[in-house]
Amino acid sequence: MNKGQSMHAIAAILHEPNTDFSIEPIELDAPTSGQVMVKISAVGVCHTDLIFATGKMGTPFPVILGHEGAGRIASVGPDVEGLSVGDKVLLTFENCGDCPNCASHDPAYCHNYRPLNFSCLDAQGCTPAHSEGGTDIAARFFGQSSFASHANVNARNVIKLPADADEALLSPLGCGVQTGAGAVMRSLRAKAGSSITVIGGGAVGLSAVMAAKIVGCSPIILVEPNKVRRDLAKELGATHAIDPMASDAAEDIHKISPGGVQYVLDTSGNLGAIESGVKMMAPKAMFGFIGIPTDRLSPLPVSIGPMIGAGYTFKGIMAGDSDPQTFLPELVYLVTSGKMPLEKLVTYYPFDQINDAIKDSHSGGCIKAVLRFDTK
Indicate which CATH number applies to the domain containing 29: 3.90.180.10
Q: What are phi and psi of 200, to 5 degrees?
A: 105, 125
Distant-in-sequence, close-in-space partners of 302: CB < 8 Å, separation ≥ 6 = 278, 312, 314
Alpha-carbon 31 to chain mean position: 24
Beta bridge partners of 138: 63
Rounded mean pLDDT of 107-136?
Answer: 84
108 and 159 share one domain: yes
Question: With contact defined as beta carbons under 8 Å apart, do 28 and 53 qualify?
Answer: no
Number of domains in the chain: 2
Residues 17 and 78 in one domain: yes
Confidence of residue 121 (pLDDT cuts 50, 70, 90): confident
pLDDT per residue as tens digits for the range 18-61: 999 999 999 998 999 999 999 999 999 999 999 999 998 888 99
134 and 264 housed in the same domain: no
Please tell me whether the peptide bond between 62 and the residue prior to it is cis, using omega within 30 degrees of 0: yes
Do 181 and 101 reside in the same domain of the chain? no
Asked, for residue 354, whether it belongs to a domain, the answer is yes
Instruction: Tell me which residue range forms the domain holding 160.
Output: 6-174+345-372
The stretch 126-149 carries a mean pLDDT of 88
Closest to 142 measured CA to CA, from 27, 72, 41, 63: 63
> Is pLDDT at 339 greater than 60 in this prediction?
yes
Question: Does residue 335 belong to any structural domain of this protein?
Answer: no
% residues pLDDT > 70 (the chain): 97
Say whether both 167 and 269 belong to one domain.
no
- Predicted confidence (pLDDT) at residue 157 exceeds the cutoff of 50: yes
Q: In this structure, are 104 and 153 located in the same domain? A: yes
DSSP 38-91: EEEEEEE--HHHHHHTTTTT---SSB-----EEEEEEEE-TT--S--TT-EEEE
Interval 344-355: pLDDT, tens: 999 999 999 999
Residues 88 and 135 in one domain: yes
Residue 112 confidence (pLDDT):
95
Query: What is the C-alpha separation between 99 and 208, in angstroms, rounded?
Result: 29
pLDDT per position as a tens digit, 192-237: 999 999 999 999 999 999 999 999 999 999 999 999 999 999 999 9
Among 6-10, 99-103, 238-242, 315-319, the minimum mean pLDDT is found in 6-10
Average pLDDT, the chain: 94
Per-residue pLDDT averaged across 108-112, rounded?
Answer: 97
In this predicted structure, the answer to whether residue 306 has a pLDDT above a threshold of 50 is yes
Polymer length in residues for the chain = 376
Q: Which helix (H) or strand (E) holds 355?
A: helix 354-363
Measured between alpha carbons, how far is 289 from 297 in angstroms, rounded to an integer?
Answer: 13
In Å, how far from its chain's centre is CA 119?
A: 18
Nearest-angstrom CA–CA distance, 38 and 44: 15
pLDDT at 135 > cutoff 90: no
Distance of CA 165 to the CA centre of its chain: 20
215 plus 111 within the same structural domain: no
Instruction: Note the pLDDT of residue 376.
Output: 45
Region 313-340 average pLDDT: 97
Question: Residue 179 is inside which H or E element, if any?
Answer: helix 176-182
Range 315-339 burial, b when 16+ CB lie within 10 A, else e: eebbbbbbbbeebbbbbbebbbeee
Q: What is the CATH number of the domain that holds 269?
A: 3.40.50.720
**Does residue 334 lie within any of the structural domains?**
no
Assess whether 229 and 117 both reside in one domain. Answer: no
How many other CB atoms sit within 10 Å of the CB of residue 231? 14
Return the pLDDT at 2: 40
> Residue 335: pLDDT above 50?
yes
- Does the pLDDT value for residue 3 go beyond 50? no
Task: State the CB neighbour count (10 A cutoff) for residue 253.
Answer: 26
CA distances to 66, 267, 308, 369 from 41, in Å: 13, 28, 50, 14
Residue 351 within a domain: yes
Q: Could you tell me if residue 212 is inside a domain?
A: yes
164/199 same-domain check: no
333: in domain: no
Same domain, 169 and 252: no
Within-domain flag for 219: yes
Closest among 63, 36, 183, 74 to 135, alpha carbons compared = 63
Q: What is the 3-state secondary structure (H, E, C) of 258-310?
A: CCCEEEEEECCCCHHHHHHHHHCEEEEEEEEECCCCCCCCCCCCCCHHHHHHH
Predicted pLDDT at 124:
61
* Whole-angstrom distance, CA of residue 230 vs CA of residue 201: 7
pLDDT tens for each residue of 251-303: 999 999 999 999 999 999 999 999 999 999 999 999 999 998 877 778 888 88
Q: How far apart are CA 333 and CA 331, in angstroms?
A: 5
User: What is residue 297's predicted lDDT score, i.e. its pLDDT?
Assistant: 79
Taking the C-alpha atoms of residue 108 and residue 161, their distance in angstroms, rounded to an integer, is 21
Whether 338 maps to a domain, the answer reads: no
Q: Angle 249-256/271-279 helices, nearest 10 degrees?
A: 30
As a whole-number percent, the residues of the chain with pLDDT over 90 amount to 87
Residues 187 and 152 in one domain: no
HSE-CB for 165 with a 13 A CA cutoff: 27
